[in-house]
């Protein structure tokens, strides 16, 4: 029987955010808590019970065995205070925002979910990198960019998983679905989900005769005036068309939309050169994977981590231009047998990203 370890987990994005990265991080936390003493470290406050409930409800996870506590990491506390705090852990698991710190844990694991295109130069940063014993990324795309820019070896690709028992198909309706937070990307390196492009393309399809179909966009609005303004522009463009926008959908509602939707659109990375701006394309794509498990056929931008999920022409379509998005979608709408077959292939493909494989890789890294 494996020895119980004391494990600390830290992400600078917790507890403010609840996107795909946080879903991954909380999934790691849940699995480790089944057999280890696990503590989630919070640098920005937050009531323990409120944080637990937020992520349990958002991601349908059981975090009841996880401790939550305030940490000096990520604060203005002294270097000594921060580094001594890390010494109490057998394992420290850090989801980085690109920054690094020293840790005295017995084993330090660095998860890199962004394909950061900057150099970790200087002696101190190189020593900090050396301090992290094991590095892993969320996709082969992120791994390639990190190895290229950071000049390190990334031995593990730790793909997020989808629970195929949780995301199951129902009777399909004439719905095109897209799931993703609303943010402009203007003031950050984050990848805008490009709901504006999807609304534009759907409007054009309706104007050219598409009838009976509805576009549903689900996603919260990130804090910030630019993000609110972006969401407002999308809403304005959608007026007068069969387009539904939901900013506060519950998990059950989201799951139901996945189940009944026939097609899934994803436009993050549209018009971006992934070599020049890798952070602005989809690094992995957990929402498309959840849709695929529900037999919604993915029609997604062929960039970044999405190319690792969707097999073009088999379990969905990859596109680069608005014309290709329109044409691929029209093919499915006009051919019910193709839609049904691809939906089934999409669900089979989603099973490759299983919880069992996720757990196996995680246990290998933990040691």
- pLDDT at residue 1 greater than cutoff 50: no
Q: How confident is the model at residue 239 (pLDDT cuts 50, 70, 90)?
A: very high
* Residue 137 φ then ψ, to 5°: -125, 170
pLDDT at 46: 77
pLDDT at 82: 96
Q: State how far the Cα of 363 lies from the Cα of 251, in Å rounded to an integer.
A: 28
Q: What homologous superfamily is domain 173-350 in, according to CATH?
A: Glycogen Phosphorylase B; (3.40.50.2000)
Residue 249's alpha-carbon distances to 217, 246, 307, in angstroms, are 10, 6, 28
3-state secondary structure at position 41: strand
* Residue 182 φ then ψ, to 5°: -95, 110
241-262 burial, b for 16+ CB within 10 Å, e for fewer? ebbebeeebeeeebbebbbbbb
Cis peptide before 168 (omega within 30 of 0): no
> By mean pLDDT, which of 42-51, 82-91, 168-177, 280-289 is the weakest?
42-51
Could you tell me what percent of the chain has a pLDDT over 90? 92
Token pair, residue 288, equals 């498309």
Residue 63's alpha-carbon distances to 28, 31, 57, 210, 342, in angstroms, are 11, 9, 10, 45, 35
pLDDT at 19: 84
Section 177-196 average pLDDT: 86
Contact 274, 139 (CB under 8 A): no
Average model confidence (pLDDT) across the chain? 95
3-state secondary structure at position 281: coil
**Hey, CA dihedral for 218, 287, 162, 316, is it positive or negative?**
positive
Q: How confident is the model at residue 188 (pLDDT cuts 50, 70, 90)?
A: low
Q: pLDDT by residue (tens digit) across 25-76? A: 999 999 999 999 999 999 877 788 999 999 999 999 999 999 999 999 999 9
100-109 burial, b for 16+ CB within 10 Å, e for fewer? bbebebebbb
Q: pLDDT by residue (tens digit) across 8-18? A: 999 999 998 88
Q: pLDDT by residue (tens digit) across 255-306? A: 999 999 999 999 999 999 999 999 999 999 999 999 999 999 999 999 999 9
Length of the chain: 367
- pLDDT at residue 209 greater than cutoff 80: yes
User: What are the extents of the domains in the chain?
Assistant: 6-160+354-366, 173-350
Section 324-349 average pLDDT: 98
pLDDT at 317: 98
Can you list the positions of beta strands (E) in the chain? 6-10, 37-42, 67-70, 91-95, 107-112, 134-137, 156-157, 173-179, 214-218, 243-246, 261-266, 297-301, 317-319
Query: Can you give the pTM of this predicted structure?
Result: 0.94
Q: What does the DSSP assignment read for 123-172?
A: HHHHHHHHH--EEEESSHHHHHHHHHHH-----EE------TTTS---S-
Q: What letter does residue 232 receive in the DSSP assignment? A: H
Contact 216, 175 (CB under 8 A): yes
Q: pLDDT by residue (tens digit) across 103-118? A: 999 999 999 999 999 9
pLDDT at 16: 87
Quick check: do 6-160+354-366 and 173-350 share a fold? yes
Token pair, residue 215, equals 């576009």
Q: What homologous superfamily is domain 6-160+354-366 in, according to CATH?
A: Glycogen Phosphorylase B; (3.40.50.2000)
Section 157-168 average pLDDT: 96
Residue 115's alpha-carbon distances to 98, 153, 241, 279, 316, in angstroms, are 9, 14, 36, 6, 25
pLDDT at 43: 84
**Tokens 């937050």 found at:** 46
Q: How confident is the model at residue 227 (pLDDT cuts 50, 70, 90)?
A: very high
Ramachandran class of 352: left when φ > 0, alpha when ψ lies in -120 to 50, beta otherwise = alpha
């Amino acid at each position: 029987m494996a020895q119980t370890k004391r494990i600390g987990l830290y992400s600078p994005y917790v507890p403010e955010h609840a996107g795909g990265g946080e879903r991954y991080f909380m999934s790691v936390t849940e699995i480790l808590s089944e057999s280890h003493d696990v503590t989630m470290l919070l640098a920005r406050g937050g009531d323990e019970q409120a944080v637990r409930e937020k992520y349990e409800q958002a991601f349908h996870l059981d975090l009841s065995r996880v401790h939550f506590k305030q940490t000096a990491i990520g604060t203005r506390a002294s270097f000594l205070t921060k580094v001594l705090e890390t010494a109490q852990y057998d394992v420290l698991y850090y989801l980085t925002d690109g920054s690094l710190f020293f840790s005295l844990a017995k084993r330090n694991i660095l998860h890199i979910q962004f394909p950061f295109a900057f150099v970790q130069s200087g002696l101190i940063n190189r020593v900090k990198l050396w301090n992290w014993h094991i590095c892993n990324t969320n996709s082969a795309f992120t791994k390639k960019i990190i190895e290229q820019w950071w000049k390190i070896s990334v031995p593990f690709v730790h793909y997020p998983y989808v629970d195929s028992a949780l995301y199951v198909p129902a009777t399909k309706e004439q719905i095109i679905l897209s799931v993703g937070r609303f943010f402009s990307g203007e003031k950050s390196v984050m990848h805008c989900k490009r709901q504006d492009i999807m609304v534009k393309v759907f409007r054009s399809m309706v104007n050219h005769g598409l009838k009976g179909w509805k576009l549903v966009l689900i996603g919260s609005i990130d804090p910030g005036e630019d993000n609110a303004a972006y969401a407002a522009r999308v809403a304005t463009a959608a007026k007068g068309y069969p387009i539904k926008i939901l900013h506060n959908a519950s998990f059950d509602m989201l799951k139901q939309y996945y189940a009944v939707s026939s097609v899934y659109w994803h436009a993050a990375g549209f018009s971006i050169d992934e070599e020049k701006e890798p952070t602005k394309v989809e690094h992995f794509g957990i929402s498309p994977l959840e849709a695929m498990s529900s037999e919604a056929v993915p029609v997604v931008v062929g960039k970044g981590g999405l190319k690792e999920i969707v097999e073009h022409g088999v379990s969905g379509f990859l596109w680069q231009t608005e014309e290709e998005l329109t044409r691929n979608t029209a093919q499915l709408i006009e051919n019910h047998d193709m839609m049904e077959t691809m939906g089934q292939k999409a669900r089979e493909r989603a099973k490759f990203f299983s919880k069992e494989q996720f757990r196996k890789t995680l246990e290998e890294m933990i040691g």
